[in-house]
Amino acid sequence: MRHASFQTKLFLAALSAAVLALAVAGLLFALSAQSQTNARIERTLVAEARLASNLLGRQGVGSLPPAPDPVPELDAEADRLGELLGARITFVAADGRVFGDSAETLDDVRRMENHGTRPEIEAARRMGIGRSERYSDTLKMSMLYIAVPVEHSNIAFVRVALPMADIRQQLRAVLMATLTALGLALVGGAAIGFVLSRRIGGRVRAIADVARRYRSGDLTPPRLDYGDDELGAVARILDDSVHELGSRLADLARDRGRMASILAGMIEGVIVVDAQGRVQLVNDAAREMLKLSEPAIGRHYVESIRHPAIASLVDAALAGQQPASVQLSPPRDARRTLTARAAPPATGAAHGVVLVLHDITELRRADQIRRDFVANVSHELRTPLTAIRGYVEALQEGGIDPTETRQFLDIILRHTLRMEHLVKDLLRLARLDAGQESIERVACDVRSLLESVTLDLAPTLDARGQQMAISVAPQAATIRADPAKLHDVLRNLIANASTYSPEHTTISVTARPAGGHVAIDVEDQGPGIPEGDLSRVFERFYRVDKSRARDPGGTGLGLAI
């Protein structure tokens, strides 16, 4: 069912009010017109009765001697006055006999009843004027009678009568004019109401269109004149409220966007839980740490996170406590270590809990590497120092022949050089970590660089009976690099290949183009590196084969450098 528009309702309301007002006004006017018309007719009849009385007096009828039968003469006079005044004229004697009637013939006048008891005659006898509205048995119709006394030798009262039908006819004319005026007023009022309702309805529709545009998200200020009345004031207030709300929503959206960007860029996981335990926010880091594949927003945190330690932490925080942080391993990834902290927001626990997750796996790994590094440095320094101290004490005791003395000094020198190399490598590693060594790229001949490294390692290779096989592709003959640092890299790789390869084997070094770069491969015939140790070969002092840890010439820092 279609509802009526505001304009239609307003028009019908205005029309109903106009109809009601005009009906009440018409009724009051009709009653007033009827009362005034009746009073005017009565006054007219009274005036006509007095006029008839005066006319009888002026004609000197009262001065003539009484006639033996005055009825014919008086009846003729009544007929003349009735025709003159346009009303029924009746002459009544003091004893109530009728001597003349303009509405009756002479014979009928003689047969008329005695009118001495008529209400209007009795009232005229008492008060000088009589009025009566009643049904006439003579004329068989309702009449309005006015009677006044008259000074006449035969007549005591003159009565003037007018049919009620004539009075109603006059009233009907007045009522018709009144109804016509009311109808015209109603049509004019309806037209005015339609015009006003159309204007107001148009303004309301314009305001509704603006409201619908606001609801769709378009908050562009409208180019409308709302007017200076109450409707315009309400529209302006609502318009200002909407724009203020839109401004606040824009600020809120910017804040949420800023917060979302911050949370997305954080490496810490953040989970926000409301006071009922439902998850309100989960950033990408938390989703990756806890392996949350299903949407968690709006669900209870126990259903989404499913970790007893985190559940206990959030429960304690929701209870208003300040729980200590806990360390845990995320589901399906026992190699990682997380630290979880839960605390209510600044507004209190009644508004929920903020859970922050820190991935400390790398920190734990770095701490373990630091511990291993300290232990390895201590071990690498303690071993040669112990040997040097032993041989120095033996030399101090004396009694050693020159050959043994020379041998002891060679051992002390070798361990001293080993410590010197270790300290140099440590210092260089520290400079590399601090970014204090720059790279100076120049054009390098790859074959010359490989032959230089082979020449440096010739004593070691000859001692183990090992051969070098160098192959350089034409497209990889020249590269841009730091020759000194690339020399150190290749020397460490080839030295490791020599150390861990069997004697009398060949070490192959190949330079080849690879996707716009040059790849240099060092291949030996040693046991290789187990897959589980590949990720650790560049750690400081890490060695795959612990039994070779005391091989001469190695500090355990070459690959790290």
Q: Residues 2-5: contacts with CB within 8 Å, 24+ apart?
A: 5/201
Task: Quote the Cα angle for 388-391-394, to 5°.
Answer: 150
Residue 544 has pLDDT above 70, yes or no: no
Structure tokens at 183: 């109808």
Q: Residues 213-216: contacts with CB within 8 Å, 24+ apart?
A: 214/242, 214/246
pLDDT, tens digit (0-9, with 9 covering 90-100), for 466-503: 888 888 888 888 888 888 888 888 888 888 888 888 88
- The CATH architecture that domain 7-171 belongs to is 2-Layer Sandwich (3.30)
pTM of the predicted model over 0.85: no
CA–CA gap between residue 270 and residue 507 (Å, rounded)? 53
- Residue (of 251, 247, 199, 200) closest to 221 by Cα position: 247
pLDDT, tens digit (0-9, with 9 covering 90-100), for 286-295: 777 777 766 6
Domain ranges of the chain: 7-171, 221-265, 266-353, 364-433, 439-523
DSSP H helical segments within 294-334, as ranges?
A: 301-305, 308-318
Do the first three CATH levels of 266-353 and 364-433 match, i.e. the same topology?
A: no
Which residues share a beta bridge with 98?
A: 92
Identity of residue 521: D
Instruction: Give the model's pLDDT for residue 552.
Output: 45
DSSP line for 365-390: HHHHHHHHHHHHHHHHHHHHHHHHHH
pLDDT, tens digit (0-9, with 9 covering 90-100), for 387-432: 788 778 777 877 778 888 888 788 888 778 777 777 777 777 777 7
- The CATH architecture that domain 364-433 belongs to is Orthogonal Bundle (1.10)
- Which range is least confidently modeled, 151-155, 276-280, 432-436, 512-516? 432-436
Instruction: Give the model's pLDDT for residue 549.
Output: 41
Residue 458 has pLDDT above 80, yes or no: yes
Ranges assigned E (strand) in 235-322: 269-273, 279-282
Tell me which of 48 and 146 has the higher pLDDT.
146
Q: What fold is seen in the domain 439-523?
A: Heat Shock Protein 90 (3.30.565)
* Mean pLDDT value across residues 168-185: 76
Q: Give CA separation, 186 vs 14, 177, 195, 200, in Å.
A: 11, 14, 14, 20
The mean pLDDT value of the chain amounts to: 77
pLDDT, tens digit (0-9, with 9 covering 90-100), for 259-271: 777 777 777 778 7
Q: Give CA separation, 558 vs 331, 421, 537, 541, 561, in Å.
A: 38, 11, 10, 9, 5
| Most confident among 219-223, 321-325, 435-439, 521-525 (mean pLDDT) | 521-525
| Residues in CB range of 288: below 8 A, 6 or more apart | 269
Instruction: Give the model's pLDDT for residue 198.
Output: 75
Instruction: Give the model's pLDDT for residue 6.
Output: 66
Element (H, E) at 467: strand 467-472
- Which range is least confidently modeled, 91-100, 122-131, 532-541? 532-541
- The CATH architecture that domain 266-353 belongs to is 2-Layer Sandwich (3.30)
Identity of residue 561: I
pLDDT, tens digit (0-9, with 9 covering 90-100), for 500-525: 888 888 888 888 988 888 898 888 88
Element (H, E) at 421: helix 402-433
